[in-house]
């Protein structure tokens, strides 16, 4: 199973103070973005196994988001798992950045 973890430190966005509900919403949206972009790349029925882990640290009002995507395709699917993972995470973080700027800034 191929795996990649990407992390972003959201310091250049002027975020408002986030509540526990905000953190939960951001986590849920990040998960949805990854699922959405993964299903755009490959039919979910062709995936043997995948796992998405979203970890958010908001200590000291510094938002840090870590998304880990693990993906296993069957041998009959001749696709580069690592490339899919990289593209999915890149697009997911881009959408997450837009969401943070639209909904969680001062």
Write phi, then psi, for 74 (nearest 5 degrees): -70, 155
State both tokens at 58.
Answer: 């908001």
State both tokens at 100.
Answer: 């943070």
Alpha-carbon distance 95 to 98, whole Å? 5
pLDDT attached to residue 66: 94
pLDDT attached to residue 76: 86
Q: What is the pLDDT tens value at each position of the chain, 106 positions in all?
A: 666 555 555 546 788 999 999 999 999 999 999 999 999 999 989 999 999 999 999 988 889 999 999 999 998 888 899 999 999 999 999 999 999 999 999 8
pLDDT attached to residue 6: 59
Q: Which domains does the chain have, with CATH numbers?
A: 2-103 (3.30.300.100)
Alpha-carbon distance 81 to 2, whole Å? 6
């Amino acid at each position: 199973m191929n795996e990649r973890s990407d992390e972003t430190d959201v310091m250049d966005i002027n975020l408002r103070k986030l509540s526990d509900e905000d953190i939960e919403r951001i986590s849920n949206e990040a998960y949805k973005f990854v699922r959405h972009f993964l299903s755009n790349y490959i039919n979910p029925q062709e995936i043997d196994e995948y796992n998405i882990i979203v970890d958010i640290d908001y200590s000291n009002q510094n938002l840090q988001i870590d998304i880990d995507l693990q993906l296993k395709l069957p041998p009959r699917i001749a696709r580069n798992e690592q490339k899919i993972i990289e593209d999915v995470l890149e697009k997911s973080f881009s959408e997450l950045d837009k969401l943070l700027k639209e909904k969680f800034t001062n």
